[in-house]
């Protein structure tokens, strides 16, 4: 996916070597871990989950993200160091929903930077029509 580098730079500490590691556990979970000079600094994941879970509930119970702020439509929550957005595949006839999770160990952009990232990431993720495989 193509995400504006300005949205990601605020999560990266100074360093010489950036490494990205992707892991996929079937259709259930996909993760991408980013490290700088061997230190984990940022993680993105998406989880295929049973329907009926609110974004806030998933954030607390499974993503370990504290939902300090919530979008008016409740489609995403975010805080200084984490964010969760929901893609409702059940609204499109699927039997599962997707939860997108972003977590940062360092964040110079604050909660607003995390919000901008999760919204941009969700918008880009939706372009791939992710619910067709569920």
- Domain boundaries, given as residue ranges, for the chain: 5-133
Q: Answer yes or no: is pLDDT of 92 > 90.
A: no
Residue 25 — φ and ψ, nearest 5°?
-110, 75
Query: Can you tell me the mean pLDDT for 85-112?
Result: 92
What confidence score (pLDDT) does residue 125 get? 94
Mean pLDDT of the chain: 92
| Dihedral sign (CA 10, 11, 15, 16) | negative
pLDDT at 29: 86
SS3 of the chain: the string is CCCCHHHHHCCCCCCCCEEEEEEEECCCEEEEEEEECCEEEEEEEEEEECCCCCHHHHHHHHHCCCCCEECCCCCEEECCCEEEEEECHHHHCCCCEEEEEEEECCCCCHHHHHHHHHHHHHHHHHCCCHHHHC
Share of the chain above pLDDT 70, in %: 98
pLDDT of residue 76: 98
pLDDT in the model for residue 27: 60
pLDDT band of residue 2 (cuts 50, 70, 90) is confident
**Could you read off the pLDDT of 9-64 as tens digits, one per residue?**
888 999 999 999 999 876 678 999 999 999 999 999 999 999 999 999 999 999 99
- Backbone torsion region of residue 128, taken as left when φ is above 0, otherwise alpha when ψ lies between -120 and 50, otherwise beta: alpha
Whole-angstrom Cα distance, residue 51 to residue 127?
A: 21
């Amino acid at each position: 996916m193509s995400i504006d580098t300005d949205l990601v730079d605020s999560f990266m500490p100074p360093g010489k070597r950036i490494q990205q590691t992707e892991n996929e556990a079937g259709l259930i979970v996909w993760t991408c871990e980013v490290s700088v000079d061997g230190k984990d600094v940022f993680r993105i994941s998406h989880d295929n989950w049973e329907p009926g879970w609110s974004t806030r509930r998933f954030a607390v119970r499974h993503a370990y993200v504290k939902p300090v702020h919530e979008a008016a439509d409740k489609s995403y929550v975010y805080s200084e160091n984490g964010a969760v957005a929901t893609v409702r595949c059940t609204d499109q006839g699927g039997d599962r929903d997707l939860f997108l999770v972003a977590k940062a160990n360092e964040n110079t952009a604050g909660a607003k930077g995390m919000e901008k990232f999760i919204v941009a990431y969700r918008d880009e993720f939706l372009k791939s029509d992710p619910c067709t495989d569920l």
